[in-house]
Every structure is written in C-alpha cells, then in structure tokens.
Amino acid sequence: MTTMLDRILETKRAEVIAAKARTGDTSLRERIAAQTAPRGFRAALDAKAATGYGLIAEVKKASPSKGLIRKNFDPPAHARAYAAGGAACLSVLTDERWFQGSAEYLKAARAACDIPVLRKDFMVDPWQVAEARAMGADAILIIVAALDDAQMAEIEAAAIEHGMDALVEVHDADEMDRALRLKSRLIGVNNRNLKDFSVDFQHTYELVSSAPSDCTFVAESGLTTRADLDAMAEHGVRCFLIGEALMRQDDVETATRILIG
C-alpha cells in the first residue's frame, strides 16, 4: 500500500533533481558564504530545558492531515511572537507541495528573531542540507522512516560539514535503534503515524526510557495543552515540537507563554 509518506518522498525526489539542475553549485556556495554562522540549535534547546521547557515552535501554514491551519499566515510576525513567548528554537516548513511552505518563509522568520531555526522538510539528498544552509537554516530534520542507514549517515555528515545540528526523527523502537547509529544525540519522537495520521503519546512514553542519557529528547506532534507537556515531563521529557496548537491562536505570543511559561 502506498502511504502518504511514500507519496511525499516521491514528489520530493523529483523536486530535488529539478532544483539541483536549476541551481549551480557555485551559486549555492556563494549563498552559504553570505550567511551568518549557524546558531546552536541543540544548545538553545538544552539551555531552556535546564530550567523549564525547551520549545521548538513551528511556523506551519498547512498540512496534509489538516489542510489550511493558518489564514493570516505571517512568518516574521509568528517568529517574533514565538521568540517573545519564550520558544528556544523555530521550525519552519519549507515543503511547498504538501505543507504550503517556502524557503522564503524560513529566511523571513530567521531574519525576524535571534533564535535558531530548523528547516522542516523531507531530506532525501545531502544537497538539500547545503540548500538549507544557503537559506540560513541552523538545523535539519532526518526522518529515519524515509531513509536507509547509508542515506541517513550521508545527510548527517553534510549537516556536520556545514556546522548544523540534525534532529533525528523516529516513531518506534526499530527506528530508535537505527537513529542511535548516527552521531547526533538530538532525537525526536513523532507521535503522529505518518501512514494514517493518528496521534498517540505512548510512542514518546515508551521510547524515552531507551534514549541514552546524553540525548536531547524531543516529543513531536499533537501536543496541545500545558497538561500534555506536564504529563510528558512526568516521563522525563522536557523538549517539545509544537505547530498546529499554536498556529491556530490569535495571540501566538501569549499562547506560547501560557504553554511553556
């Protein structure tokens, strides 16, 4: 059966082939050289989690599971609101086809604040890591379910080469084992099943105990209330990736502060 993730990856591979052909290596190198140095993504998350909750706040206009989430979508305003509300980092969706995201949204969001930014996209080729750095991104996402071990290692190596952090996303114990073969110790558990979109926090509760103590462990997807975060904290989880619940608020700054304050 073809899953949503399969469909997303198929379009992504075709897009990357076209983008590589369109964008010369020289132009990418020049754009990377013009960027400011990467902001430490994991370090910012750890610093906030040491005394409270480490929030990766997502700038998310739409999704395959929910359609349009935010009508008056304004990435720089959302970035400022998240930072003022106490978020440690941002996640900005750059996938256009499925999430109505854009590289321009990432650039505008990062320029509007001083916290580190994750390029939230489906990485299928190390070239996209260089492209992410050329946009200004400080970190990239590696979805274990989307890649084999060699591909993951190649993409992680590109992130290290560019001084970026890699958030390695897993959904079950097998993926966790594979994630731990990488160097990155920034692990996210996606509570959303990317095949049927169901959300179950049990994935995080079960996997947190198998994470080595040197890991920064992030619970992702479907988190809505302060009670959700406090329940996670009882299991030892202090870092969270949250998009929809905050993007649906009129006052994003206050909602962020209430959630993690």
- Residues near ligand LARABZUK, by CB under 6 A: 4, 58, 60, 63-65, 190, 194, 197, 220-223, 241-245
In the complex, minimum distance from the CB of residue 69 to ligand LARABZUK, in angstroms, rounded to a whole number = 8
**Residue 100 vs 221, nearer CB to ligand LARABZUK:** 221
Catalytic residue among 190, 191, 244, 253: 190
Q: How far is Cα 107 from Cα 116, in angstroms, rounded to an integer?
A: 12
Secondary structure (3-state) at 233: helix
Catalytic residue among 12, 60, 61, 107: 60
Residue type, 140: I
Nearest to 248 by CA among 85, 98, 78: 78
In the complex, minimum distance from the CB of residue 89 to ligand LARABZUK, in angstroms, rounded to a whole number = 13
In the complex, minimum distance from the CB of residue 64 to ligand LARABZUK, in angstroms, rounded to a whole number = 5
In the complex, minimum distance from the CB of residue 37 to ligand LARABZUK, in angstroms, rounded to a whole number = 26
Look-up: residue for tokens 């994935």?
Answer: 203
Q: How far is Cα 70 from Cα 68, in angstroms, rounded to an integer?
A: 6
Catalytic residue among 63, 91, 191, 221: 221
**Residue 31 vs 192, nearer CB to ligand LARABZUK:** 192
**Residue 29 vs 66, nearer CB to ligand LARABZUK:** 66
Q: How far is Cα 186 from Cα 214, in angstroms, rounded to an integer?
A: 9
Nearest to 59 by CA among 17, 20, 11, 113: 113
Residues paired with 120 in a beta bridge? 93
**Residue 23 vs 238, nearer CB to ligand LARABZUK:** 238
Nearest to 56 by CA among 75, 84, 82: 82
Other Cβ atoms closer than 10 A to 24:
10
Catalytic residue among 120, 131, 175, 184: 120
Catalytic residue among 58, 156, 175, 244: 58
Q: How far is Cα 244 from Cα 247, in angstroms, rounded to an integer?
A: 5
In the complex, minimum distance from the CB of residue 95 to ligand LARABZUK, in angstroms, rounded to a whole number = 9
Catalytic residue among 131, 156, 169, 175: 169
Active-site annotation holds for 220: yes
Active-site annotation holds for 65: no
Look-up: residue for tokens 């890649």?
Answer: 147
In the complex, minimum distance from the CB of residue 176 to ligand LARABZUK, in angstroms, rounded to a whole number = 16
Q: What are phi and psi of 245, to 5 degrees?
A: -60, -35
DSSP H helices, the chain, are: 4-22, 25-33, 41-51, 75-84, 103-111, 127-135, 149-161, 173-179, 202-208, 226-234, 244-247, 252-260
Active-site annotation holds for 213: no
**Residue 27 vs 198, nearer CB to ligand LARABZUK:** 198
**Residue 58 vs 253, nearer CB to ligand LARABZUK:** 58
Active-site annotation holds for 191: no
Nearest to 142 by CA among 89, 184, 110, 101: 184
Active-site annotation holds for 169: yes
Give the active site residues: 58, 60, 120, 169, 190, 220-221
